[in-house]
Amino acid sequence: SAASDWWKSAVVYQVYPRSFADSNGDGVGDLRGLIEHLDHIAGLGVDVIWLSPMYPSPQADNGYDISDYRDVDPTFGTLADMDELIRQVHARGMKIILDLVVNHTSDEHPWFQSSRSSRTGERADWYIWRDPRPGVEPGTPGAEPNNWGSFFSGPAWTWVPERGQYYLHLFAAKQPDLNWDCPEVRAEVFATMRWWLDRGVDGFRMDVINFISKDPALPDGPLTSTGLGDGSGSFAYGPRVHEYLAEMKDVVFTGRDADCLTVGEMPNVTPEQALRFTDCETGQLCMVFQFEHVDLDQDGSKWAPRPVSVVDLKTSLGRWQRAMGDRGWNSLYWNNHDQPRVVSRFGDDRQHWYESATALATVLHLHRGTPYIYQGEELGMTNAPFERIEDFRDIESTRYYETAVLERGADADEVLAALRRKGRDNARTPVQWTAGAGAGFTTGEPWIPVNPNHVWLNAAAQRDDPASVYAYYRRLVDLRHRDPVVVHGDFTMLQPEHPTLYAFARCLDGARLAVYANLSGEPLEVDVELPDRAATTVLTNLTTSGPWDGHLLPWEVRVLRSD
Ligand code: ISL
């Protein structure tokens, strides 16, 4: 029904609290800082805020390692601040969803502390424990229960002498995987979700939620370039994942007055699987985050660069548009806290900074699906000028450097070049509020340096400028809210083989919206499709107006509408 599909016409804004705004000068963003800047978010016209983890955490992975699901880390504030945030978001007519990180906990979570201490205790099987490989000295290389590598380098297993077993961690050793096959684990997660919904939150973004069900045999995976195995065949679409998410839907969401937004983050998910997760009648989630388009510029490993073309992007995103069709639903994103900045990655962050940031935004937002804006994207924030390994904070980057350079002898300059290109810290430099010291993010020493380009690239400079990236995002959000074709229209890629033109049409009940975007630094003469020749320009990222002759300047985009 229309009411329960409110999220189809919504735009979501992601806040990574550590890097958003610091209210108390300790150099780390916090909830008070977020509350103080809510008008910046509301001013974009967005509907939902997704808040990255703010729970108590040792911060091994910036909060994606949670030690208490029902509180707030003192670095970020208090539960009272959280209640105030929820109130203030709702007062502005927006909703708020939390990050649900329940594939794993922190190793400092009391559940794990209890689980690691004995094989027979109350929480003995809350995590994934296995005996060492027979015939190898436990705790030495090769004694791990299988050959899997973790996402953050090194084996996916850590030995606990106390218990005489290994535990599985698909990410860092400080992020042990929960055992979802244990009914008490599921019951506790679901109870926690209800607890937050009762406190007023409007849904969840679910971290690596397709990983929660593992093939209990945990077989070795194919070897990768690191010498370790890729276990994803046993956990990326495990035997009980649909069952567990259906149970969640039933136990947590059924019978609530308001309809919640649920989005599952799913590395490795295929279009066919995503359709099963989001099917309007039989699915378990509103939408998923898929990774195909952000993995195009890598060759197997994210650290092995591969060039990406406009045709590659069109082929991938077009396939997902077709696959979700009328029954599934897409999430649309270029950026989040794990991805390099889109204007540096697929655009031109120098000569055509404004044009390429807005052209890429237009292409994304006018696909069918729910668009996500990651903090700073609405300002056209760029990658950071990292130089040395000491400039990086992210555990994924620092662990990769350690294992590749120090253990495997890889070339340090090459590794650094890869980190600069794809490292997650590119997305995590502080939001650039002002041209002043600390970019208006903090009065103290920021936990990661601000990008020097904040002297010209900042919110204060853009907020009241109708020709800013910020103002352009506002127009995109507004267009989605005003025009049902943007929300519900079907999708047809135009001229899919064209090497630099990204063009498509959206059609609904005889109305047609066509997007022609020049994703290159060269001017273009476009062969305008017949139905678009007499159409009206409803949006362009340049100041030109009036009838269009098919000429596009570098990174120019035209959105045309006809009835
Ligand atoms: O960032 C990545 C690229 O290598 C992914 O492997 C990423 O780790 C994966 O998309 C899962 O991401 C989520 O879970 C991680 C956390 O580090 C990420 O920040 C989070 O978005 C573990 O909780």
Is 227's pLDDT higher than 70?
yes
Instruction: Indicate whether 136 belongs to any domain.
Output: yes
Q: Is the CB of 101 under 6 A from ligand 1?
A: yes
Tell me what ipTM this predicted complex has. 0.96
Residues 161 and 300 in one domain: no
40-41-44 Cα angle (round to 5)? 95
Phi, psi of 534 (to 5 degrees): -105, 10
Residue 258: per-residue pLDDT: 79
> In 279-381, which ranges are continuous DSSP H helix?
310-324, 342-345, 353-365
CA of 169 to the centre of ligand 1 (A): 13
Question: Rounded to 10 degrees, what is the CA torsion of 483, 486, 492, 497?
Answer: 110
Q: For 228-242, what is the mean pLDDT?
A: 98
Q: For 380-387, what is the mean pLDDT?
A: 98
Strands 287-289 and 490-494: unpaired
Q: For 395-400, what is the mean pLDDT?
A: 98
pLDDT band at 550 (very low <50, low <70, confident <90, very high): very high
Q: For 56-70, what is the mean pLDDT?
A: 98
pLDDT band at 494 (very low <50, low <70, confident <90, very high): very high
Residue 339 CA: nearest ligand 1 atom is 1
Residues 193 and 271 in one domain: yes
Question: What is the CATH number for 85?
Answer: 3.20.20.80
Instruction: Indicate whether 477 belongs to any domain.
Output: no
Instruction: Indicate whether 203 belongs to any domain.
Output: yes
Residues in CB range of 525: below 8 A, 6 or more apart: 550, 551, 552
Q: Which of 15, 19, 55, 64 to mutate to test the pocket of ligand 1 (most atoms within 8 A of CB)?
A: 64
User: Could you confirm whether 162 is annotated as catalytic?
Assistant: no
Instruction: Indicate whether 482 belongs to any domain.
Output: no
Residues 55 and 191 in one domain: yes
Is 509's pLDDT higher than 50?
yes
| Final residue of a structural domain among 144, 179, 214 | 179
Is 420's pLDDT higher than 90?
yes
Closest of 325, 179, 181, 331 to residue 266, by C-alpha: 331
Residues 312 and 357 in one domain: yes
Residue 8: per-residue pLDDT: 97
Which residue among the candidates 144, 202, 207, 377 is catalytic per the annotation?
207
Q: For 137-142, what is the mean pLDDT?
A: 96
Strand locations in 324-388 (E):
331-332, 370-374
Residue 141: per-residue pLDDT: 95
Q: Is the CB of 318 under 6 A from ligand 1?
A: no
Residues 193 and 261 in one domain: yes
Residues 338 and 256 in one domain: yes
| Final residue of a structural domain among 441, 469, 497 | 469
Residues 233 and 286 in one domain: yes
| Final residue of a structural domain among 469, 495, 530 | 469
Instruction: Indicate whether 538 belongs to any domain.
Output: yes
Q: For 413-435, what is the mean pLDDT?
A: 98
For the chain, give the mean pLDDT: 97
CA of 557 to the centre of ligand 1 (A): 32
Residues 135 and 251 in one domain: no
CA of 338 to the centre of ligand 1 (A): 6
Q: Is the CB of 171 under 6 A from ligand 1?
A: yes
Instruction: Indicate whether 518 belongs to any domain.
Output: yes
- Which amino acid belongs to residue 308? V
Residue 170 CA: nearest ligand 1 atom is 22
Residue 291 CA: nearest ligand 1 atom is 10
Q: Is the CB of 208 under 6 A from ligand 1?
A: yes
Residues 159 and 296 in one domain: no
Residues 247 and 351 in one domain: yes
Residue 61 CA: nearest ligand 1 atom is 17
Q: For 526-544, what is the mean pLDDT?
A: 94
Residue nearest to atom 10 of ligand 1 (CA): 267
Query: How far, in Å, CA of 415 to CA of 295, rounded?
Result: 18
Instruction: Indicate whether 196 belongs to any domain.
Output: yes
User: Could you confirm whether 413 is annotated as catalytic?
Assistant: no
Q: Is the CB of 302 under 6 A from ligand 1?
A: yes
Q: Is the CB of 267 under 6 A from ligand 1?
A: yes
Tens of pLDDT, residue by residue over 247-282, are 999 999 998 977 999 999 999 999 999 999 999 999
Instruction: Name the burial class of residue 1, with classes exposed (0-12), middle (13-18) and buried (19+) by CB atoms within 10 angstroms of its CB.
Output: exposed
Residue nearest to atom 15 of ligand 1 (CA): 64
Give the C-alpha distances (Å, rounded to integers) separating 127 from 217, 220, 233, 266, 420. 15, 19, 20, 21, 35
Its pTM stands at 0.98
Residues 363 and 341 in one domain: yes
Residue carrying structure tokens 């039989």? 282
Is 1's pLDDT higher than 90?
no
Residue nearest to atom 8 of ligand 1 (CA): 151
Is 486's pLDDT higher than 50?
yes
Tens of pLDDT, residue by residue over 284-340, are 999 999 999 999 999 989 999 999 999 999 999 999 999 999 999 999 999 999 999
Closest of 123, 139, 136, 238 to residue 187, by C-alpha: 123
Domain count, the chain: 4
Residue 543: per-residue pLDDT: 81
Instruction: Indicate whether 163 belongs to any domain.
Output: yes
Give the C-alpha distances (Å, rounded to integers) separating 504 from 17, 266, 401. 36, 26, 41
Residues 136 and 283 in one domain: no
Residue 151 CA: nearest ligand 1 atom is 6
Residue 3: per-residue pLDDT: 56
Residue 438: per-residue pLDDT: 97
Question: What is the CATH number for 534?
Answer: 2.60.40.1180
Q: DSSP secondary-structure letter at 219?
A: -
CA of 266 to the centre of ligand 1 (A): 10
Question: Where in the sequence is the domain holding 128, given as residue range(s)?
Answer: 105-179
Q: Is the CB of 151 under 6 A from ligand 1?
A: yes
Question: What is the CATH number for 175?
Answer: 3.90.400.10
Count CB neighbours of 3 within 10 A. 7
Residue nearest to atom 11 of ligand 1 (CA): 208
Is 2's pLDDT higher than 50?
no
Is 546's pLDDT higher than 90?
no
Residue 257: per-residue pLDDT: 77
| SS3 category, 261 | strand
Residue 544: per-residue pLDDT: 73
Residue 412: per-residue pLDDT: 98
550-556-558 Cα angle (round to 5)? 55
Contacts of 83-90 spanning 24+ positions with Cβ under 8 A: 83/199, 83/200, 84/31, 84/35, 85/31, 85/34, 85/35, 85/51, 86/199, 86/200, 86/201, 87/200, 88/35, 88/38, 89/38, 89/49, 90/200
Which residue among the candidates 22, 65, 265, 556 is catalytic per the annotation?
265
Q: Is the CB of 61 under 6 A from ligand 1?
A: yes
Q: For 56-71, what is the mean pLDDT?
A: 98
